[in-house]
Structure 1
Amino acid sequence: MAIENSRRLWLKQAAFAAAASVFAPRMLFARAPTDRRFVFIIQRGAADGLNTVIPYADPAYASLRRELAIAADTAMRLDGTFALHPSLAATGELYRSGQALFVHAVASPYRERSHFDGQNVLETGGSRPYQRKDGWLNRLLDMLPGQKDAEAIALAPTVPLALRGKGQVASYAPSSLPQPSNDLLLRVRQLYEPDTQLHALWEAAMDTRGKAGNARGRQNPAELGKLAAGFLKRPDGPRIAMIETGGWDTHAGQNARLAAQLKNLDALLAALKEHLGTAWDQTIVLIATEFGRTAAANGTGGTDHGTGSAAMLVGGAVQGGRVIADWPGLGQANLLEARDLRPTLGLHTLIAATAAECFALDPRRTLQTLYPGQSAAGKLPGLLKS
C-alpha cells in the first residue's frame, strides 16, 4: 500500500510538472460562473504610493522627497492635486478613457513595518498578523454562487496565502525542462488510463497545459499578461485570478528602481487589456501593497518602510477617471508618527467594496466574510460600472 501511495504521489507530481513547463510563475486562477473577472495584483515589498500617484500640489511633497520628488510637468496630471508616475503611460491612457481610478492614503489595519507580517495581514484579512490561516480571496471564491466544486490554480511553487483555505487549489511551478514529445505524452496517457484516479489527474494536467498554449517558463510582464488573459477570456476559464509582483522595497536608488517596477506593471496591465479583447469590459484589476513608504527620502536615495500608500483599480468595468482620497496632507503635524502618510481609508474597505460590486454580493456580508470582525474604515463612492 505504501508503494502504491508513493507511486500515485510521484505520478501526481510528474503530471503537474509536465503541465507546469508551459506556465508563467506567480499566477493563480479560480473558476466562477460569471462574466465578471476579478484580478488581484499584490505588490510585495511595500510599493511607494507617494511617487506612484504623486501629490504634486501638496506643499510639503517636494521638500520631503528632495531629489526623489517627481516634477508634475514630467508626469501625467490626474487632477489639481495628483499626477501619475511617467512610467505608467498605458495606465494613464486607461485613466483618460475612464477605465482606471486611484485610491490614496489607504492601508490595512497593520501598523508595524515587517514585510512578512504586513503581507500576512493583507492576504488573510485578519486585523493582526497570524490571526487567520486562510485567505480572503479563497473566502471570496466560496461566496460565489455554484462554487462548491470550484478549484483555484496556483501557477507557483506554493499557493499564496490569499488563496489558501477550504477551496480547492492546485499548485504548479514553472519549468525550464525541454518540452516532452507527443509520443511520450501519449504513452504516459496509455500507461495510466486503467487507473481512474491517476488517469483523471493526468487528463486535468493535460487540459490545463493545452489552455496555456505555447507559453513556457518564466515570462516577462507582457507575456505574463498575455498568458493570464488567455485563461481569463475563455468561456470555461477562471473568473478570479491573482498575480504576484515583487521587488517594490526601495531603500536605495529608488527613482530608477521604481521606474522599472512601474514600467513592468504598466506592460502587464496593457497586455491584459489587449489580449482579453471584449472580456476586458467585464474585468476589474485591483492592485495593492502591504504598506507604504516614509514621506521623507532617506540618506541613500530611497525611502523606508511606512504606512499609507496608494491602490489602483483598472479595467473595462471600472468607473474610472477619478482619484479617491480623503487627503490628510504631508505637513509634519499631519504625518503618522511624524514620518508616514496617514491612512484615511482601510484597504479592507476598498477590497470588500470592490468584490461586492464585482459579483453583486451583499456589501455587509462580503465585508464580514472577507474581514471577520472588522468594520468599514472610510467611505467609498460607487467603484464599478453598473
Structure 2
Amino acid sequence: MSRLIASAGLSGAVHEAAAAGCAESRMLLSRRAMMGVSVGLFSAAFMPKIASAASADPRLLVVVLRGGMDGINVVIPHGDKAYSSMRGAIAIPRSKTLPLNDDFFGLNTALPFFGRLFRRNQAAAVHAVCTPLRNRSHFDAQDNLENGLPGLASNSTGWLNRLLTVMPKGAPIRSNGAIQVGEAPLLLRGPAPVLGWSPTWFSHPPAPITDAVVTLLRKRDKELYGALAAGMKADALAEKVSSGENDNVSTFRKAFRGAGRLLSAKNGPRIAVMSVSNFDTHSGQGSTDGFLWNSLHELDSALREFHDHAGDIWRDTVIVMATEFGRTVRINGDNGTDHGVGTVALLAGGAVAGGKVLGDWPGLSKRDLFEDSDLRATTDLRAVFKGVLADHVGVPLTILDETIFPESASVKPMEGLVRGGGGGFVAATSPARGGGSSRAARRADTPIGRYRAAYPA
C-alpha cells in the first residue's frame, strides 16, 4: 500500500530538536505516536452554496504548527525600538532578514519561498494573534485552537468537523466523508464522518479476496460497505500520490506534496488538515540558524512542494498555518524562549489577498508586554479562521458565530484575507483600500502608523 502520507518523523536535526522540547511537548508528541505529520483530507464537494464565496471551487489547507512557534522571530518587528534589546542573543539583524512590503517587518531567511509568495501577493501574515485561552499550556492551547471554543472544554468536537455538520444534506460527496492519516487531530473530531487511513508496508490482499468481501458487504451491510468503498478509494488516491516518489525527499515534504496532488485531483478532497510538531524552542533556538531556523526552512520547503504539485488549483487555495501560542519576548538561560502568548499566523495560496502583514501591533517595551513576559495578543485566532471561512468558503456569519465557533459573536471575521472577500480592516503593511485620501494618510492610519505615532523615534 502507499507510503506517501505516512506516519512521518521529522527530518534530521528538526526531529532531534523537537524531541528536546519541554516535557509537556514530548508528552504530546508521544500522544500522537511521535508523528511529525498527521494529515486529514475532507470530502470533495463540501460546499453548501449557502453564501457567496470568493472562489467557485475553493481548497483549504489548515496546518497546525505544534509546540508554540516564536512569531517574533518569524515575522520580525524591526520597527519596534525594543526588539533588539529584548531579544538579546537571538535578535535577528535587519540585514539578515528578507524584505517585506513595509519596512517595519522583516521575514526570517528560512522562509525564502514564502517570501517570494508574499511579494507576489500570494502570502500574508497576521501578527499578535493567539487563541482565546492564554494559559501557556500545550495541552489546553492546542485543544483550544482545534475546538474553537472560548475557553477550557473536555470531550469537545473540532471546529472543522462542525463545519462539515452544517453542510446541507444531498450535497455531492466526491471522496466520501473525511480522510485522516494516523491519529486524528481534534479538528476532525465529531459526528461528521471521518475516514481513517494508515499507510503500511503490507501488500494489498489478492483481488479475488477483495472482490468477495465487497460483494458480501454490498448485499449484507450497506453501511460497512460504504465505509470499505470509501477506504479503498482513499487508498487508490494515495497510491497515485506515491507513484514515482524520490526517496531522497523527506517524508515531511512528501506529505505536503501528497496533499497538493490529492487536493488537485478531479474527484479528490477539497479540505486538508496537517499537524507538524517541531516548534517548542526552549533551548538552542538560534537566530539566523539553529532549531527555529531549521524548522522554518523545512516548513518552507514543504510549502513549495505543495505549491509545485497543486497545479491549477493553487489559484483557488488558502493555506492557514497557525500555532497554539507564542514564546516569551526575553531569552531564557538556555538560549531559547519559553511558553508565551502572542505569535503570528501565516497564510499562503493563490486565493490569498497577500503582500501585507495584518494585525494591531502592541509593542515590545516592558510596559506593553502581557504579564511582563509576552507579546500581547490583539487578535483572536478565531477571527482569522472565521475570515477565511466567510470569504473563501462562503459560510454565513450566524453559523460561524453560533455553530462552528460557539459564543463568538464578539469576534468578528477578519476581512481582507481572501481575494474577492471584504476589505482589510487592519492592514499593517499596505495602504487601506478605497477613498481619495493620500497614500501617506492611509499609511498613517494603519496599526503600524498608529504605533509609530505613539512611540516616535
Aligned to 1:11: none
CA distance in 1, matches of 2:142, 2:293: 23
Query: Paired residue for 1:135?
Result: 158
Q: Post-superposition shift, 1:202? A: 4.3
Change (3 A) 1:361 1:202: closer
**Deviation at residue 299 of structure 1 after TM alignment:** 0.8
In structure 2, what is the equivalent of residue 189 of structure 1? 210
Match of 2:99 in 1: 77
Amino acid of the structure 1 residue aligned with 2:280: D
For 1:293, which of 315, 327, 331 is the aligned residue? 327
SS of the residue 1:238 aligns to:
coil
Match of 1:349 among 383, 402, 407: 383
Superposition pairs of residues 274-289 of structure 1, within 5 angstroms? 274-289=308-323
**Counterpart Cα distance in 1 of 2:225 and 2:206:** 12
* Alpha-carbon distance between aligned partners in 1 of 2:358 and 2:264, rounded to the nearest angstrom: 29
1:275 and 1:297, CA in 2 relative to 1: closer, same or farther beyond 3 A?
same
Residue range with higher mean Cα deviation, 314-323 or 219-228: 219-228
Deviations 1:260-302, CA, capped at 9 Å, x for gaps: 1101111121111111111000000001011110011111010
Provide the rounded CA distance (Å) in 1 between the counterparts of 2:404 and 2:228. 34
Please point out which of 62, 66, 74 is paired with 1:40: 62
**1:90: Cα distance to partner?**
0.3
Once structures 1 and 2 are overlaid, which stretch shifts more, 315-324 or 369-378?
369-378
Give yes or no for the alignment of 1:61 onto 2:61. Answer: no
Contact 2:42 2:272 in 1 (8 A): yes
Contact 1:103–1:324 under 8 Å retained in 2: yes
Could you say what secondary structure the match of 1:23 adopts? coil
Amino acid at match of 2:352: V
Amino acid in structure 2 at the alignment position of 1:166: P
Equivalent residue number for residue 236 of structure 2: 210
Q: Secondary structure at the match of 2:178?
A: strand
Distance 1:232 1:36 in 2: 10
User: TM-score, normalization: structure 2?
Assistant: 0.75
Q: Which runs of 5+ in 1 are unaligned?
A: 1-17
* Per-residue deviation, residues 111-148 of structure 1 (Å, max 9, x unmatched): 10110011111100111222561000111223344576
Deviations 1:8-62 (A, max 9, x none): xxxxxxxxxx5x6553341101114251001100001101100111111211111
Alignment of 1:1-386 (within 5 A): 21=3, 23-25=5-7, 26-33=38-45, 34=47, 35-78=57-100, 79-131=102-154, 133-146=156-169, 151-156=177-182, 158-175=183-200, 177-180=201-204, 184-196=205-217, 197=221, 200-212=226-238, 213=240, 215=242, 220-255=251-286, 256-377=290-411, 380-386=414-420
Q: Which moved more, 1:283-292 or 1:375-384?
A: 375-384
**Aligned partner letter, 1:71:** P
1:361 deviation in Å?
2.1
Distance 2:297 2:360 in 1: 27
CA distance in 2, matches of 1:167, 1:189: 27
Q: 1:295 is matched by which residue type in structure 2?
A: V
- 1:124–1:132 contact (8 Å) kept in structure 2: no
**2:236 partner letter:** G
- The answer to which of 251-260 and 126-135 deviates more is 126-135
Stretch moving more, 197-206 or 54-63: 197-206
Match of 2:308, SS state, is helix
SS state at 2:81 partner:
coil
- In structure 2, do the counterparts of structure 1 residues 263 and 146 end up closer, same or farther at CA, with 3 Å as the change threshold? farther
Deviates more, 1:52-61 or 1:187-196: 187-196
Q: Is the 8 A contact 2:385 2:413 kept in 1?
A: no
Task: Report the Cα distance in structure 1 between the residues aligned to 2:4 and 2:416, rounded to whole angstroms.
Answer: 39
Q: Partner letter of residue 78 of structure 2? A: Y
How many residues align structurally?
A: 363
The CA distance in 1 between the partners of 2:376 and 2:107, in whole Å, is 20
Does the CA-based 8 Å contact 1:24-1:219 persist in structure 2?
no
Structure 2 CA distance for aligned equivalents of residues 31 and 247 of structure 1: 28
Q: Which runs of 5+ in 2 are unaligned?
A: 8-37, 48-56, 421-457
Per the normalisation by structure 1, the TM-score is 0.88
